[in-house]
Amino acid sequence: MAGSRGDGYESTRHENSLEVAARSPGHHREPIRGNLAAVAACAANLGMRHALGLRCQTRGTSDNRATMTENRAEASLTLSATGLQIATRESRLALWQAEHVRDLLARRLGLHVGLLGMTTRGDQILDRALSKVGGKGLFVKELEVALEEGRAHLAVHSLKDVPMELPEGFVLAAVLEREDPRDALVSTHFASVAALPQGAVVGTSSLRRVVQLMSLRPDLRIEPLRGNLDTRLRKLDEGGFDAIVLAAAGLKRLGLAARIRATFDEQQMIPAAGQGALAIEVRSDAETLRSQLAELTHVPTWLAVHAERAVSRALGGSCSMPLAAHAVWQGQTLVIDAALGDVEQPSRPLLRTRAQALIELSGDAVATAEATALGELAAAQLRRLGADGYLAATLA
Q: Which are the catalytic amino acids?
A: 161
Interatomic CA distance for residues 384 and 21, integer angstroms: 11
3-class secondary-structure state, position 190: coil
Q: 314 Cβ partners below 8 Å, 6+ apart?
A: 375, 376, 379, 380
- The answer to whether residues 368 and 172 touch, using CB atoms and an 8 Å cutoff, is no
Q: Which residues of 308-347 are buried (b: 16+ CB within 10 A; e: fewer)?
A: bbbbbbbbebbbbbbbbbbbeeeeeebbbbbbbbbbeebe
DSSP of 333-359, one letter per residue?
EEEEEEEE--SS-TTSPEEEEEEEEE-
Among residues 126, 14, 24, 64, which one has the least CA distance to residue 375?
A: 24
Closest CA to 279 of 147, 164, 182, 176: 176
Whole-angstrom distance, CA of residue 250 vs CA of residue 206 = 15
Q: Is 319 left (phi over 0), alpha (psi -120 to 50) or beta?
A: alpha
Find the helix or strand (DSSP H, E) in which 154 lies. strand 154-158
